[in-house]
Structure 1
């Protein structure tokens, strides 16, 4: 009797196990993974292009004795364009603040021109003086800090400021005619000028990696001084001083590495 009970119990256990094996299997749900949060932190590179302009700025001119030349010097507002590249790095400091550093180098074609026409009557001796002055900016660059506020997670409004430099070329030609004849003079100077750049802008993140921006910069560069010499004998005839400041508005497209 005992053996019959043992056999019956074993058969019942095998039957229950077989039925359990036939039941549908449910796996445990996969753990929930939150999407990574967007951040402005990281390095980026980009392209930019825009317009430049210089307000009316006329040269200051002295003769060899330091006396200002007579007669008005005309000047005109000047415009040009630029295109260049950008590189930088951002740090997102909390949910609403972004700070970073940015450098850029741009080709430019702004060219200022001025003219002088002066008539001097010194004790009946009439002297007519003419001159033409050109100030050409061929490229410029900046190295600036940026700090901004996130109006939205994808919209950065920022202020910027730092160093600026540019390659500037100056030329001047002139003539002075009196009863004794005409003296022709010429002067030129090419130099790299240093100064500052300040401005503001907005940048909008299109995706985790791509963003577009628009910004305004005022670039203040040091003045240029150079002499004009008589072409006949090389004698110093005049000293010219010119300003090199300008403004620019430009658009940019940036690619940010990483994206999260």
Structure 2
């Protein structure tokens, strides 16, 4: 019995000593947490989107356009007739004072490249196409004079120097800016084109399209929303919002005007009044882009 007690006591002593030694051993350190860096935003990548805004004419064109009109060989082919119905020569003057403003809307596509992610210089190229709805009331004339007569009833008169009812315009522009993380401030400029026509430069109910080319310049500010924005319907790498101002000058060239009047029997009257005015206007618009590519 004594031998059993001695053995138990010895075992207890060994166990106690082992636990004390284990307590003195250095503990194994826990592994450090894995560091997941927050991705740095970059503007590099393709994008596409749409925009809408307001456009208005900018040129100083309030001086009237005055045109002398010769008499036609017959009363039916003459714009002006005397009180007796005989053909006559006269003068027609356009006031050039009607409104040249209205809605502008369309879409754009482009590509940006940012040299240093985060904050840094951004270069890019953008093309856009726009529907416009302004400048459609410039064809009205202020006065027509002829001694002892006037304009034949049913005649149509068009302003050869007025801004046409522009149907659309577009641009292909370079962009240069600086990004402050998700905010981009930029300038832009490049090629512009546009077209409008119809009754202003030719026969009624016909398409006398007046395609024009020129240039555009402006600037804006753009901000990138978080990737999980509720506007990100297409699961793009970012959704960006922008506000932009653009000046557009479409050069009419040195062409003379086309038909500017049609008599009641359909005779087209033409005259040479020289170079038409450029189509100049400014656009202020807001846009939304979906960016695809690097985050």
Give the one of 178, 182, 185 matched to 1:149.
Answer: 178
Deviation readout 1:70-97 (Å, 9 max, x if unpaired)? 4642122321112211111111123321
The more displaced of 234-243 and 196-205 is 234-243
Question: For 1:231-242, what aligned pairs fall within 5 Å after superposition?
Answer: 231=263, 232=265, 234=267, 236-239=269-272, 241-242=276-277
Q: Which residue of 1 aligns with 2:123?
A: 99
Q: 1:227 and 1:71, CA in 2 relative to 1: closer, same or farther beyond 3 A?
A: closer
SS in 2 for 1:171: helix
- Cα distance in 1, alignment partners of residues 94 and 111 from structure 2: 45
Contact 2:192 2:248 in 1 (8 A): yes
Give the one of 107, 110, 118 matched to 2:144.
Answer: 118
Q: Which residue of 2 aligns with 1:227?
A: 259
Which protein has the bigger strand share? 1
Q: Which residue of 2 aligns with 1:74?
A: 95
Tell me the C-alpha RMSD between the 2 structures.
3.5
Contact 1:63 1:237 in 2 (8 A): no
TM-score (norm 2): 0.64
Contact 1:160 1:198 in 2 (8 A): yes
- Cα distance in 2, alignment partners of residues 147 and 227 from structure 1: 43
Deviation readout 1:28-87 (Å, 9 max, x if unpaired)? 33542322211111111111000111246467464578xxx8464212232111221111
Question: For 1:175-254, what aligned pairs fall within 5 Å after superposition?
Answer: 189-208=208-227, 209-223=238-252, 225-228=257-260, 231=263, 232=265, 234=267, 236-239=269-272, 241-254=276-289
SS in 1 for 2:41: coil
1:86 and 2:108 aligned: yes
Q: 1:242 and 1:226, CA in 2 relative to 1: closer, same or farther beyond 3 A?
A: farther
- Cα distance in 1, alignment partners of residues 245 and 266 from structure 2: 47
Q: Which residue of 2 aligns with 1:136?
A: 165
Q: 1:91 and 1:154, CA in 2 relative to 1: closer, same or farther beyond 3 A?
A: same
Q: 1:112 and 1:195, CA in 2 relative to 1: closer, same or farther beyond 3 A?
A: farther
CA deviation after TM superposition for structure 1 residue 194, in Å: 1.0
Unaligned residue ranges in structure 2 (runs of 5+) = 1-17, 71-89, 228-237
Unaligned residue ranges in structure 1 (runs of 5+) = 1-14, 174-184
TM-score (norm 1): 0.71
Q: Which residue of 2 aligns with 1:108?
A: 132
